């Protein structure tokens, strides 16, 4: 393998995740995890991620087909969707917060109610038990029954059966024993993370292993040892003063990683751009997700989609479809759009694909 450069790593990062579009189930399997976000601007992050990787994907296909896909909606390094084999590695969980006896009494009563009905809407639970209101993590008020179901879901007592109008419907989750070898299970989860986000700077690898303590809090004491084991089995190189890691057996310098001519609008949580540290190494500017930033302080917009052309993220785009037609507001890091005619043709093609994806 020739001496690695940042150009090699950038092309490798793009090529390994923007694979040839396939079926929805195979795409999720290849990704290993699809991060979810409830904001729809103009579509949810999970749909924006999958549209590049699934043949003829349309917004909402994941939600519509979820019950038959063999996946679970759950917390991993963030909240999203994972194959069931990965889901089993994280359960049974031992949350950091210990429930008092009174909370367990509530949970068992709700669990029995869910088992009797098979699949329940949170509203049914609220009407039956009248748990009242509770303060949510935004500082506002929400139904206490919904909060309890969320907590039961995290603890593995219930699972998400499907969604209805975006609302999670719950079913009882079948019990199963935890993995026989906790260290091996933790290592397997780290490998899923690396496979999705590689190549990773050492600091980002450590950050993601820490994030895994949300999906598998029972192994947080093994974090440092697991990170050490991961570094020992992964391929590594120092490039531009940074130590990088990726799955053993892959060749970042392969000529197969040559960029194509497509223009792509990426989700804020797409694997290409998720790691903001890596983003700055690769493209020399800082991208930030500003949906939760006060409007007056936003630099690029409420839901700016990174704009990838060839192997460069050259700008961003805010999209809206409220009028039934796609409206785009583009910004460029250099201050102006490329003059290359091929870029304009590629951008028009991408906006047309986005319109079809949204059903416009």
pLDDT tens digit sequence for 271-327:
999 999 999 999 999 999 999 999 999 999 999 999 999 999 999 999 998 778 899
How far is Cα 316 from Cα 304, in angstroms, rounded to an integer? 6
As given in the structure block, the two tokens for residue 57 are: 């994907």
Q: pLDDT-based confidence at 136, cuts 50/70/90?
A: very low
> 142 or 9: whose pLDDT is higher?
9
Q: How far apart are the first and last CA of the chain?
A: 47
Domain boundaries, the chain: 101-172, 256-358
138: pLDDT confidence band, cut at 50, 70 and 90?
very low
Q: Which CATH class is domain 101-172?
A: mainly alpha
* Mean pLDDT over the full length of the chain: 94
The band of 131, judged by pLDDT with boundaries at 50, 70 and 90, is low
DSSP, res 290: -
pLDDT band at 142 (very low <50, low <70, confident <90, very high): low
Calpha distance 52→17 (Å, rounded): 10
Judge residue 52's burial from the number of C-beta atoms within 10 Å of its C-beta, 0-12 exposed, 13-18 middle, 19 or more buried.
buried
| C-alpha–C-alpha distance, residues 322 and 78, integer Å | 29
């Amino acid at each position: 393998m020739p001496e690695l450069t940042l150009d090699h790593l950038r092309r490798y990062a793009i090529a390994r995740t923007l694979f040839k579009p396939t079926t929805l189930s195979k795409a999720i399997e290849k990704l290993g995890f699809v991060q979810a976000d409830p904001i729809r601007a103009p579509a949810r992050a999970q749909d924006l991620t999958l549209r590049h990787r699934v043949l003829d994907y349309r917004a909402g296909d994941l939600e519509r087909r979820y019950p038959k896909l063999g996946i679970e909606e759950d917390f991993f390094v963030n909240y999203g969707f994972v194959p069931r084999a990965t889901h089993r590695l994280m359960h049974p969980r031992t949350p950091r917060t210990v429930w008092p006896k009174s909370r367990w009494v509530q949970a068992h009563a709700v669990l029995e109610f869910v088992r009797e009905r098979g699949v329940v809407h949170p509203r049914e639970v609220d009407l039956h038990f009248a748990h009242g209101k509770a303060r949510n993590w935004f500082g506002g008020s929400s139904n206490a029954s919904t909060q309890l179901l969320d907590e039961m879901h995290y603890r593995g007592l219930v699972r998400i059966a499907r969604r209805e109008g975006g609302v999670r419907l719950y079913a009882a989750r079948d019990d199963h024993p935890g993995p026989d070898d906790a260290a091996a299970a933790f290592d397997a989860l780290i490998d899923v993370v690396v496979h999705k986000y590689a190549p990773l700077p050492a600091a980002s690898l450590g950050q993601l292993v820490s994030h895994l303590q949300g999906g598998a809090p029972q192994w947080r004491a093994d974090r440092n040892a697991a990170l050490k084991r991961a570094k020992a089995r992964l391929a590594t190189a120092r490039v531009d003063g940074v130590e990088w890691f990726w799955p053993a057996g892959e060749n970042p310098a392969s000529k197969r990683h040559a960029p194509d001519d497509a223009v792509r609008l990426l989700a804020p949580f797409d694997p290409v751009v998720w790691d903001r540290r890596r983003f700055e190494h690769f493209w020399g500017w800082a991208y930030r997700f500003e949906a939760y930033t006060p409007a007056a302080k936003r630099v690029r917009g409420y839901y700016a989609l990174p704009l990838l052309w060839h192997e460069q993220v050259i700008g961003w785009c805010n999209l809206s479809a409220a009028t039934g037609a796609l409206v785009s507001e583009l910004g460029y890091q250099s201050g102006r759009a490329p003059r290359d005619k091929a870029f304009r043709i590629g951008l028009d093609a991408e906006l047309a694909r986005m319109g079809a994806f949204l059903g416009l």
